[in-house]
Amino acid sequence: MYISEDQIRRVLTYEELIPAIRQALIDYSAGRVEQPLRQVIRVQDQAGNPSGWFAVMPVIAGEFMAVKTVTFFPANKGLPTHLATIELLDRATGEPLAVMDGRLITEMRTAAVSAVAVQALAPDAKTLGILGSGVQARSHIEALRHVQPAFREAGNVRVWSRSSHNAVAVAQAMSASAVNIEETAACDVVVTATSATHPVLLGKWLAPQSLVVAVGAVGPQLRELDDEVMQGCLIAESRQGSENESGDVILSGAKVFAEIGEILAGSVAMPAADRRVFKSLGMAIEDLTGAALVWKAMRS
What range does the domain containing 84 cover? 2-105+285-299
CATH of the domain at 45: 3.30.1780.10
pLDDT tens, per residue, the chain with 300 residues: 899 999 999 999 999 999 999 999 999 999 999 999 999 999 999 999 999 999 999 999 999 999 999 998 988 988 988 899 999 999 999 999 999 999 999 999 999 999 999 999 999 999 999 999 999 999 999 999 999 999 999 789 999 999 999 999 999 999 999 999 999 999 999 999 998 889 999 999 999 999 999 998 888 888 999 999 999 999 999 999 999 999 999 999 999 999 999 999 999 998 887 899 999 999 999 999 999 999 999 998
Beta-strand relationship, 276-279 and 211-214: parallel
Q: Residue 188 is which amino acid? A: D
- How far apart (Å, rounded) are the C-alpha atoms in residues 28 and 26? 5
Summarised one tens digit per residue, pLDDT across range 137-180 is: 999 999 999 999 999 997 899 999 999 999 999 999 999 999 99
Contact (CB, 8 A) for 160 and 179: yes
Do residues 201 and 135 both lie within one domain?
yes
Q: How far apart are CA 170 and CA 163, in angstroms?
A: 11
Is residue 248 included in any domain, yes or no? yes
Per-residue model confidence (pLDDT) at position 217: 82
Residues 277 and 167 in one domain: yes
17 and 53, same structural domain? yes
User: At 164, phi and psi to the nearest 5?
Assistant: -65, -35
In this predicted structure, what is the pLDDT of residue 271? 82
Total-model pTM: 0.95
pLDDT digits (tens, 9 = 90+) for 261-271: 999 999 999 88
Same structural domain for residues 23 and 151? no
Residue type, 271: P
CA 195 to the chain's CA centroid? 13
* 156 and 51 co-located in one domain: no
Question: Crossing angle, helix 103-121 and helix 14-29, to 10 degrees?
Answer: 70
Give a yes or no: residue 140 inside a domain: yes
36 with 96, same domain? yes
| Residue 15 and residue 33 share a domain | yes
- How many Cα neighbours within 13 Å face the side chain of 230? 20
Is 251 in a helix, a strand, or coil?
Answer: helix
- Are 26 and 174 found together in one domain? no
What pLDDT was estimated at residue 174? 95
| Helix, strand, coil fractions of the chain, as percent rounded to 5 | 40, 25, 35
Instruction: Please tell me the predicted confidence (pLDDT) of residue 266.
Output: 96
**What's 229's domain CATH number?**
3.40.50.720
Query: Contact at 8 Å (CB) between 133 and 196?
Result: no
> Does 290 lie in the same domain as 263?
no
Q: What DSSP string describes 165-210?
A: HHHHHHHHHTT-EE--HHHHHTSSEEEE----SS--B-GGGS-TT-
Same domain, 260 and 290: no
In a domain, 193, yes or no: yes
Are the beta carbons of 279 and 235 closer than 8 angstroms? Answer: yes
User: How many domains, the chain?
Assistant: 2
Tell whether 256 and 289 lie within a shared domain: no
**146 and 77 together in one domain:** no
At residue 223, the pLDDT reads 95
Asked if residue 115 is part of any domain, the answer here is: no
